[in-house]
Protein backbone atom coordinates (compact mmCIF):
# COMPACT_ATOMS: atom_id res chain seq x y z
CA UNK A 1 0.00 0.00 0.00
CA UNK A 2 1.24 3.48 -0.80
CA UNK A 3 0.15 6.55 1.16
CA UNK A 4 1.14 9.87 -0.35
CA UNK A 5 2.13 12.90 1.71
CA UNK A 6 -0.87 14.94 2.78
CA UNK A 7 -3.43 12.28 1.90
CA UNK A 8 -4.31 11.81 5.58
CA UNK A 9 -4.55 15.50 6.47
CA UNK A 10 -8.35 15.34 6.31
CA UNK A 11 -9.24 11.77 7.12
CA UNK A 12 -12.88 10.69 6.88
CA UNK A 13 -13.54 9.01 10.21
CA UNK A 14 -17.06 7.75 9.56
CA UNK A 15 -17.12 4.02 10.24
CA UNK A 16 -13.57 3.95 11.61
CA UNK A 17 -14.41 3.83 15.30
CA UNK A 18 -12.53 1.05 17.15
CA UNK A 19 -14.72 -1.75 18.50
CA UNK A 20 -12.17 -3.17 20.95
CA UNK A 21 -8.93 -2.32 22.72
CA UNK A 22 -6.19 -4.83 23.51
CA UNK A 23 -3.68 -5.00 26.36
CA UNK A 24 -5.47 -2.37 28.44
CA UNK A 25 -3.45 -3.33 31.51
CA UNK A 26 -0.38 -1.89 29.72
CA UNK A 27 -2.06 1.36 28.63
CA UNK A 28 -0.09 4.47 29.47
CA UNK A 29 -1.51 6.30 32.51
CA UNK A 30 -2.16 9.45 30.46
CA UNK A 31 -4.06 7.62 27.71
CA UNK A 32 -7.84 7.48 28.19
CA UNK A 33 -9.84 4.29 27.46
CA UNK A 34 -11.64 4.17 24.13
CA UNK A 35 -15.33 4.98 24.65
CA UNK A 36 -17.80 2.20 23.75
CA UNK A 37 -14.99 -0.23 22.89
CA UNK A 38 -14.66 -3.69 24.42
CA UNK A 39 -11.64 -3.90 26.70
CA UNK A 40 -9.29 -6.90 26.83
CA UNK A 41 -6.51 -7.34 29.39
CA UNK A 42 -4.39 -9.22 26.85
CA UNK A 43 -5.22 -10.66 23.42
CA UNK A 44 -8.78 -10.60 22.10
CA UNK A 45 -10.87 -13.69 22.74
CA UNK A 46 -12.59 -14.75 19.52
CA UNK A 47 -15.98 -15.43 21.05
CA UNK A 48 -17.62 -13.28 18.40
CA UNK A 49 -16.13 -12.49 14.99
CA UNK A 50 -15.52 -8.92 13.98
CA UNK A 51 -16.93 -7.55 10.71
CA UNK A 52 -13.48 -7.87 9.12
CA UNK A 53 -13.27 -11.55 10.12
CA UNK A 54 -16.67 -12.19 8.57
CA UNK A 55 -15.51 -10.48 5.35
CA UNK A 56 -12.35 -12.60 5.20
CA UNK A 57 -14.29 -15.79 5.75
CA UNK A 58 -16.83 -14.90 3.05
CA UNK A 59 -14.03 -14.04 0.62
CA UNK A 60 -12.43 -17.45 1.14
CA UNK A 61 -9.23 -15.99 2.58
CA UNK A 62 -7.59 -17.99 5.32
CA UNK A 63 -8.02 -16.51 8.75
CA UNK A 64 -5.72 -17.27 11.71
CA UNK A 65 -8.32 -19.66 13.15
CA UNK A 66 -8.39 -21.67 9.90
CA UNK A 67 -4.59 -22.07 9.71
CA UNK A 68 -2.92 -25.19 11.14
CA UNK A 69 -2.02 -24.74 14.78
CA UNK A 70 1.49 -25.42 16.07
CA UNK A 71 1.67 -28.31 18.53
CA UNK A 72 2.91 -27.58 22.04
CA UNK A 73 5.99 -29.41 23.26
- In angstroms, the Cα distances linking 54 to 11, 14, 29, 47 are 25, 20, 34, 13
| 30 pLDDT tier (thresholds 50, 70, 90) | very high
- Percent of the chain at pLDDT above 90? 1
Res. 37: pLDDT tops 50:
yes
Please report which confidence band the pLDDT of residue 71 belongs to, taking 50, 70 and 90 as the band edges. low
Half-sphere CA count of 51, side-chain side, radius 13 A: 6
**Torsion sign (Cα): 15, 30, 23, 33:** negative
Give the span between the Cα atoms of 55 and 61, in whole angstroms.
9
Amino acid sequence: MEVTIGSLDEVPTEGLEPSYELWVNRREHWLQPLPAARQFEHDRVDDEPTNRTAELISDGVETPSSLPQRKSA
